[in-house]
Amino acid sequence: CPTPADLRPANGTRVCAQLYADNSPYYDQCCAGDVLVVPPGTDAPYMPRGWSARVSSLVVGTRCELTVWPRKAKKGKSRRFSA
């Protein structure tokens, strides 16, 4: 998986989080498959099409926080992730 400081694409745009679709029992293979990029300031009450119950790994960038909910429209008990 990339480090939190590595979440910066080639053009220098800041990324707050990356969510990955594939999982593995081996740490070095966890962050694989499709990637959902979360830019700073994103507020998404619904997961994009095809991502519901699919995220298996995530990395949150420095100075960012990712809050997730178990149900659509921000319902249920939230959980926060940071670098």
Q: What is the tens place of the pLDDT at every residue in 32-50?
A: 889 999 998 889 888 888 8
Q: How far apart are CA 14 and CA 48, in angstroms?
A: 20
Residue 10 has pLDDT above 70, yes or no: no
4 domain-assigned:
no
Task: List the domain range (segments joined by +) for residue 66.
Answer: 17-82
Tokens 């830019």 — which residue?
39
- Burial (Cβ within 10 Å: 0-12, 13-18, ≥19) of residue 58: middle
70 domain-assigned:
yes
Domain count within the chain: 1
Count, in order, helices (H) and strands (E) of the chain: 0, 5
Residues 7, 17 contacting (CB under 8 angstroms) = yes
Q: Model confidence over 54-65: pLDDT tens digits?
A: 888 899 998 899
5 domain-assigned:
no
2 domain-assigned:
no
